A and B are shown apart, each in its own frame.
Chain A
Amino acid sequence: MGRLLLPILAVLLLVLLVVSAATSDRVAPGDFQPVQQPAVQEKVDLRTLQARYKVLSKQLFQLMPNQPYILVDTARNRLYVKHQEQVVLDAIASTGSGTILEKPGESDSKWIFDTPRGEFLVKSKLTNPTWIKPDWAFIEEGLAVPQNAADRAEQGVLGEYALGFGRGYFIHGTLYTRLLGKNVTHGCIRLNDNDLKGVYKLARVGTPIMIF
């Protein structure tokens, strides 16, 4: 008896499904659906679009640094430390002069003294840095490039701190504070002693630097 019950139930279920499908077919098209469907559909579409826009906005927001970052405006020679929208430090800086110096003996080769633009990271934090003068520093002064590496080292010209951001570029101090606010450097970013100390304290290795 129990064995028969299961097939009977299955047949009954099938019959019910067929009947309900046939009944639903009997609803005449045009009774009410076409009047209400576009309005409902539009509302659904709008909600989907709103949701999509909000999700994308959120995704973009999540790409923004959630730690303090350094922002450098090379046109106006300003350096800011910002945390989201808040300005934590605002300093007058000196950035690249944009001038060129030809490499002696190499007709097509030259140095261009621009501060690089784009996104960088603080790669190193130094105290009492020594400037290892590159070739251009001697050539610019009309001096011979020394053979001995020790002759390139110069103490006290970069201030008490330096923050390296790659390819030999640093945020450092300066002896020429009267030139702050002008484009006079060979690509590095110069600050006065107080601002440099502030940036050094706020930044860590890995802090993003945005330069435009």
Chain B
Amino acid sequence: MNFCAIVFLLVFAAPSWGKDIEAFPDLNLNDPKELKEASRVLEEELKLAARPQTYLLIDLSGSIIHIKGRGIGLHQIPIVTWSAGSRDGLKGVHRLAARPPVVRRKIEPGAGIEQEPISLADMPTDYVLSFSPSLRITVVPSVRGDSLLQSAVLLGKVGWRNVKDWTNWLWTDRSSDSSAYLRLTLSVDHAQSLAWSLVDGMALVIRRPTNK
């Protein structure tokens, strides 16, 4: 009877032993560069996932931003397009140092009227996030699917952001690692969703593509 039970367990449990648990299902297992990059990210992520906190993983290879905790994907935000400066500047763990301020509504004591709460719609759509060590992430909204007027307004905003970035670049001290920047284009909803999910000091790891 015991022998039968062991055989039964072996037959049914064996396939799960061989089952591979992969952190990045899109990874080409025959590409050494991709494997090295994925392992580097996993090493960083293991340190973050060992602590009770939520963190960001920007997967530029898969064009997805993951909000994670204990290695679990809590929420995903798709990236429309992106561009980056120095590849080396994106390595390591970065901590969120500055983000756009949230305009909060004040409660009037005894007013007796329901106070209007903050919602996703109150979040900014184009903003800059500063991280430590030096990394600057600019989030701009995508104009896909918008009306002509909305697109023109958004393009104007994005253009203005470009001019500001360019003038900043001219005046900053380039002896520091000012080339560490990432520019993310997200849909309006997703840009607001990301702004909502950020927490001061939040950790960030970036998976860099090997072919770009």
Contacts and interface: CB of A to CB of B under 8 A. Distances in A.
Q: How large is the interface on B (under 10, 10 to 19, 20 to 34, 35 or more residues)?
A: 35 or more
Interface stretch (B20-28, B139-147, B166-174, B176-184): B20-28
Given A60-B71, A61-B71, A139-B109, A54 B20 contact: yes
A86 interface: no
A119 B106 contact: no
Given A45-B32, A98-B102, A63 B70 contact: yes
Q: Which of A53, A59, A112 has the most CB of B within 10 A?
A: A53
B6 interface: no
Nearest to A208: B70
Interface string A127-168: 000000000000111110000000000000000000000000
Contacts of B35: 46, 49-50, 52-53
B84 interface: no
A134 to B, nearest CB: 14
Name the 6 nearest CB pairs between A and B, nearest first: A142-B110, A98-B118, A97-B117, A56-B42, A119-B52, A49-B35
Interface of B: 20-23, 27, 29-30, 32, 35-36, 38-39, 42-43, 45-46, 49-50, 52-54, 67, 69-72, 74-75, 102, 104-107, 109-112, 114-115, 117-120, 193, 196-197, 199
Given A99-B115, A211-B54, A212-B54, 6 more contacts: A49-B35, A60-B23, A60-B45, A63-B49, A99-B104, A140-B109
27 contacts: A53-B39, A56-B23, A56-B43, A59-B42, A60-B45, A60-B49, A63-B70, A73-B75, A74-B196, A75-B120, A98-B102, A99-B115, A99-B117, A100-B107, A102-B106, A117-B54, A118-B53, A118-B54, A118-B199, A139-B109, A140-B109, A142-B111, A182-B117, A184-B117, A208-B70, A211-B54, A212-B75
